[in-house]
Structure 1
Amino acid sequence: MARVLITGANRGIGLALTELYLASGWQVLATVRAQSKAEALKKLGEQDASAGLAIYELDVTNYQQLSELANTLAGVPIDLIINNAGLYGPKGYGFGNCDVEAWREVMEVNAIAPAKLAEAFYTNLKLGDRKIFAALSSRVGSHSENTKGGGYIYRSSKAALNSVVKSLSNDLLSEGIKTVALHPGWVKTEMGGPNALITAQESATGLKAVIDNLTDSESGSFISFDGSKIPW
């Protein structure tokens, strides 16, 4: 049975990805910041007792907790890691009004934590068959497509994440591990809002198709849920 680790799996795209991979016969190692906020996730396991779902508590910026989870899963082959956990941060601010502490928090969640996640579960990926590290980014992190300005906090965090993914591709492809930064689309979630264009299920389906078809030559790429390539 193929095995995937998904962070931030209790809602939105993370929950949709969990449901999709379970339905596809995968074992899912799902992480949540608090078990008390994982009711929808727990129901997936209750609906099908044979579903390969394991839920772990993890704040991705708690590196001691991350290390402990890695120790718990030591020796367990993981075919795919999807870093879905993310933070948008403040909205509605303009130039000259960036909250520095909020900026630091968003950068840690969106860029530093994914790098530490890759480090923590690198040996598990080496034991897996498919060996893919995928990180949910956003096309607002594209320098080329930034034609409107603003959004300094979130934009810069996703640009940094893209750089992390690119470096990982250079460091890990020789060991058979592919990496990819994924744009999930504008999704109807708590972060995306009600005016977004697609559902979490539509996004998850597209993301899985991209991951399923990822080639060595695409490692380190920035790809949308619809399969189109996004310029850096």
Structure 2
Amino acid sequence: MKDTRKTAVVIGASRALGLGLAAEYLRRDWNVIGTVRGSRRTGLHQLAEASGGRLTIESLEMTEPDQVSALRDRLAGHTLDLLFVNAAVTRGDIPIGEVPTDMFTEVMVTNALSPMRVVETLGPLVAPAGTIGVMSSDQGSIALNTEGGQDLYRASKSALNQLMRCYAVRHAEDTRTLLLMDPGWVRTELGGPDADLSVEESIPGVAATMERHQGKSGLHFVDYQGQVVPW
């Protein structure tokens, strides 16, 4: 019998928010394809073993364009209902004038350029009524930046938002939903131990918000509670 479950691809699913999102979509009875970097065993492998074949794992170093193209070729037989790119690094709270050039390049390539390469390359595999989402942050909002700090991380997320806006304008006739997701301040390696939310508190809201926006074409910047985030 044909499998009628929806399919989600989660880029960067080995731990924290990405792993939580893969688990959430399994709970929602989707099939999930999650990516990890390299061959190291991760929490995603444990999740796959308990998934009854509904979770498959692909290896991807997102910053390598050839690997993104190879993943597209491996997924060519799939029609995706959701493509979600979850990947980010931060290198500490350093004033921008003190940030070394190689650090600036690394963070921008990882947080802004590489997610957009994934969107551009894998986006055509997403169904016309499907969703393309990237993990943004309220720290990417210029309007909400009233305290400063985290200069480079903020700039990288603002750049990601702007690049998604460019993508949306170029694909103005596209019926797919485009989402910039703010998961809230979450206790992860990136968010730190003092953050407000656990992964288990954030991710169900992220998934529910994406589900509510299905069928709403154009670009939306929203948080895990479904609230619009100002640009």
Of Structure 1 and Structure 2, the greater helix share is in 1
Give the SS at the match of 1:25.
coil
TM-score (norm 2): 0.93
- 1:217–1:6 CA distance, 2 compared to 1 (3 A): closer
Structure 2 match to 1:160: 159
Q: 1:216 to 1:173 in 2, by over 3 A?
A: farther
* Root-mean-square deviation over aligned CA pairs: 1.6
SS in 1 for 2:9: strand
3-state SS of the aligned residue for 1:56?
strand
CA contact (8 A) 2:175 2:218 kept: no
Counterpart in the other structure of 1:119: 120
* Pairwise CA distance, 1:12: 0.2
Alpha-carbon separation, structure 2, partners of 1:37 and 1:147: 41
Number of residue-to-residue matches in the alignment: 227
The answer as to 2:229 corresponding to 1:225 is no
Question: Is 1:98 aligned to residue 102 of structure 2?
Answer: no
Measured in 2, the distance between the counterparts of 1:199 and 1:218 equals: 30
Please say if residues 95 and 150 of structure 1, whose CA atoms lie closer than 8 Å, have aligned partners that are also in contact. Answer: no
Does 2:79 correspond to 1:80? no
Look up the SS of the partner of 1:175 in the other structure: coil
The match for 1:46 is: 49
Structure 1 unaligned spans of 5+: none
The worse-fitting range, judged by mean Cα deviation, of 194-203 and 216-225 is 216-225
- Matched residue, 2:21: 17
Matched, 1:143 2:142: yes
1:27 pairs, out of 24, 27, 31, with: 31
Q: Distance in 1 between matches of 2:100 and 2:168?
A: 32
1:15-59 superposed Cα distances (whole Å, 9 cap, x missing partner): 000001011111111001123142x111112223x2411101101
Distance 2:95 2:14 in 1: 31
**TM superposition score normalised by structure 1:** 0.92
Equivalent in the alignment of 1:65 = 67
Distance in 1 of aligned mates of 2:221 and 2:214: 13
Instruction: Spell out the pairing of 1:203-222 with structure 2 (5 A cutoff).
Output: 203-214=202-213, 219-222=218-221
Q: Is the contact made by 1:168 and 1:179 (CA closer than 8 Å) also made in structure 2?
A: no
Q: Which amino acid aligns with 2:107?
A: V
SS of the residue aligned with 2:8?
A: strand
Distance 2:128 2:54 in 1: 18
Q: Runs ≥4 in structure 1, deviation > 3 angstroms?
A: 215-218
